[in-house]
Amino acid sequence: MNWRKIKIIAWKDLLEVLQNKSVLISLGMVPLIILVVLPLVFLIVAGQTGSADAFKDPDIQIMFERMPAALTQSMQGFNDTQTTIMMILGYLFAPMFLIMPLMSATSIAAESFAGERERKTLEALLYTPATDSELFFGKALAAFLPTLVIAWISFILYSLVLNIAGYPLFGAVWFPLPSWYPLVFWVTPAIAALGVGATVLISTKVQTFMGAYQTSGSLVVIVLALVAGQATGVVYLSAWVGIVLGFIIWLVAGILFFLAIRKFNRKTLLLQSTG
Amino acid sequence: METVINVQNLKHYYGEHLALQDLSFQVSRGEVFGLLGPNGAGKTTSVRLLNGMFEASGGKMEVMGFTPGTQGEHIRTVSGVLTETPALYERLTARQNLKFFGTLADMSDSEIAARTDELLKLFDLSDQADVRTGTFSKGMKQRLALARAWLSRPKLLFLDEPTSSLDPEAAVQVRELIADVRQKEGTTVLICSHNLDEAQRLCDHLLIMRKGSALATGTLDDLRKLVSTGLWLQIHLLKPFSDWQSTLSGLKGVRKFELQDETSMKIEVESQENIPQVVSALVMKGAQFLKLQPQEISLEEVYLKLQNINKENGGFHNELAKN
């Protein structure tokens, strides 16, 4: 494989993505709302006089009791307001963070793979000397790398928001919690790879960007399952759970990539674009 | 002359559908070869197979010494393809489009930059080099697509409907550019078209296709002889002439005649040696000549006649292809 060709394919796809306002908006708005606006509002409200009583809600107490002992021990020494914030923004929000790499990866990959066919530029691309593998990896890279960059920038923003807006309540830097490191640096790339692999496979069946994006968007149920799992006490994204979960997602992503590479060949792509 | 494309008994199926059957032709270095036929004749499938986009169901092919089925990448390195639609990245500028395709064709950055400037100037797009191609007119897009196909100085150019959907002025521009490309670098060109006027102007050799097989192949003169070996004369008279039928019937060398209106007619003679006696016979009977013009059969007439013969025969095989 020729690295220069892979790079130029990724460069071209990224240039196109940067010109697509609907993709840009979804890439920018989701992290902004989930990881900046929501926690900021929550921390501002939590800092108001009298809010401490609200955190003594029995439902919150039940959720707290359902948490694994290892996690609750790490919260010892903090007051009710602080533990509630840690539980919600430190643990319950963790799966929400995964929505972002999933959305970024699927929207860029849908734009790159299905969008190319929709705009009828695919055939000219297939007539170039680039091999099927170079085309595949160039396009996959165009979706994978920006997803990681966006996710990591969002993680930095989230950490800043939680520590700066939470400083009046905590009086110290308290975030990131240890469970976030495997989530951000191990599960996030796995989720991005999963999103790319699934979208490429879907793109071989779907003719349009929106079709591919909406179908692959159904992967969000994985994240919603994690949210529900944490809320009901079935599973908690501790560091170890993150490592195991990441391993499983990497495995599934690997299988999807294997299948996608097999599907991504000139014959399949050409027959599909004319059929 | 060296053969650049050699196709023997090519056959291809899309599932159950037979797209190409027993297609054979050769293209020599430096010539412009036209694949003509209606939609669904198999022109685009032929170009895809010649570029090794996928393997043929049967037959043999060689392009620039490579076998398309297994060495498509090598063929695509030495060839350029203008697809039916310009297929440009409309959110990118003209220069960015050429940079992308030049890199995929293994050109160095400096080579791409120099060639881009040269082609944009030649194709009259220098002022729009850094403008997004989405804002271009159809003619500009087609010129840029042609520049893209010619970017890496390919030895072989495939042009699929190069002037379709262009206005007449833009079509003339593109035709001139194709002639220019061929003349400047001796590039071998294979054109797929159903624009017969264009094919007549540009092509040295022609292959007329229908439903995946060849109806006839050869130069325009070869093809003319397949449908008619004679010569047509267009005659315009000063005044109406009533005795044309009695004068021309039975006259030696005259095959057919058609009165078009009271003062004009078309006569088919066996050869140009028969022209003086036809003129003399008509003048003797009082016909007053305004204009006499020998008329060659156009490619369009040849094409339509061959397609009709094939339709009447109702099948793939046609003996004309073997001539």
What's the confidence (pLDDT) of residue B97? 97
Q: Which of A115-119, B119-123, B170-174 has the lowest mean pLDDT?
A: B170-174
What's the confidence (pLDDT) of residue A275? 44
* Stated pTM of the model: 0.82
Q: Band of the pLDDT at B304, cuts 50, 70, 90? A: confident
What's the confidence (pLDDT) of residue A50? 66
Q: Which of A121-125, B9-13, B195-199, B319-323 has the lowest mean pLDDT?
A: B319-323
**Chain A residue numbers touching B105 (CB-CB < 8 A):** 128-129
Dist. CA B82–CA B143, nearest whole Å: 10
What's the confidence (pLDDT) of residue A205? 77
What's the confidence (pLDDT) of residue B21? 92
Helix runs in chain B, H state only: 43-50, 68-78, 94-104, 109-122, 138-150, 168-185, 196-202, 220-227, 244-248, 275-284, 299-313
Query: Mean pLDDT, to the nearest integer, of A65-77?
Result: 72
What percent of chain B has a predicted confidence (pLDDT) above 90? 50
What's the confidence (pLDDT) of residue A52? 63
What's the confidence (pLDDT) of residue A115? 84
What's the confidence (pLDDT) of residue B321? 47
Q: Which of A35, A128, A204, A49 is CA-nearest to residue B83?
A: A128
What's the confidence (pLDDT) of residue A79? 78
**Chain B residue numbers touching A10 (CB-CB < 8 A):** none
- Name the residue of chain B whose CA is nearest to A272's CA: B14
Dist. CA A147–CA A141, nearest whole Å: 10
Dist. CA B53–CA A129, nearest whole Å: 10
Domain annotation for chain B: domains and CATH numbers: 3-224 (3.40.50.300), 229-295 (3.30.70.980)
A267 touching chain B per CB within 8 A: yes
* Residue-averaged pLDDT of chain B: 88
What is the domain count for chain A? 1
**Chain A residue numbers touching B148 (CB-CB < 8 A):** 124
Asked if pLDDT for residue B123 goes beyond 60, the answer is: yes
Q: Band of the pLDDT at A55, cuts 50, 70, 90? A: low
Q: Which of A127, A132, A135 to mutate to test the interface with B (most CBs of B within 10 A)?
A: A127
Asked if pLDDT for residue B222 goes beyond 80, the answer is: yes
What's the confidence (pLDDT) of residue B319? 44
Task: State whether B81 and A124 contact (CB < 8 Å).
Answer: yes
- pLDDT tens-digit map of B55-74: 999 999 999 999 998 999 99
Query: Mean pLDDT, to the nearest integer, of B84-111?
Result: 95
Task: State whether B53 and A126 contact (CB < 8 Å).
Answer: yes
β-strand pairing of B264-269 with B231-237: antiparallel
What percent of chain A has a predicted confidence (pLDDT) above 90? 34
A133 DSSP assignment: H
Query: Mean pLDDT, to the nearest integer, of A228-256?
Result: 85
What's the confidence (pLDDT) of residue B318? 45
Task: State whether A12 and B90 contact (CB < 8 Å).
Answer: no
- pLDDT tens-digit map of A170-215: 888 888 988 899 999 999 999 999 999 998 888 877 778 777 777 7
Q: Which of B148, B149, B192, B250 is CA-nearest to residue B41?
A: B192
* Cβ pairs bridging A and B (under 8 Å): 71
Asked if pLDDT for residue A48 goes beyond 90, the answer is: no
Range of the domain at A152: 3-274
What's the confidence (pLDDT) of residue B39? 84
Q: Please state the length of chain A.
A: 275
Sign of CA dihedral B194, B195, B197, B199: negative
Q: Band of the pLDDT at A223, cuts 50, 70, 90? A: confident
What's the confidence (pLDDT) of residue B159? 93
What percent of chain A has a predicted confidence (pLDDT) above 70? 94
Q: Which of A15-29, A224-238, B130-144 has the lowest mean pLDDT?
A: A224-238
Q: How far is CA B86 from the centre of its chain?
A: 18
What's the confidence (pLDDT) of residue A23? 79
Q: Please tell me which of the candidates A120, A129, A270 has its beta carbon nearest to residue B48.
A: A270
Asked if pLDDT for residue B33 goes beyond 80, the answer is: yes
Please give the structure tokens belonging to residue A223.
């994240």
Of B86 and B316, the one with more pLDDT:
B86
What's the confidence (pLDDT) of residue B177? 81
* Residue-averaged pLDDT of chain A: 85
Of B186 and A152, the one with more pLDDT:
A152
- Residue A235 CB neighbours (<10 A): 15
**Chain A residue numbers touching B92 (CB-CB < 8 A):** 12, 15-16
What's the confidence (pLDDT) of residue B195? 82
What's the confidence (pLDDT) of residue B317? 44
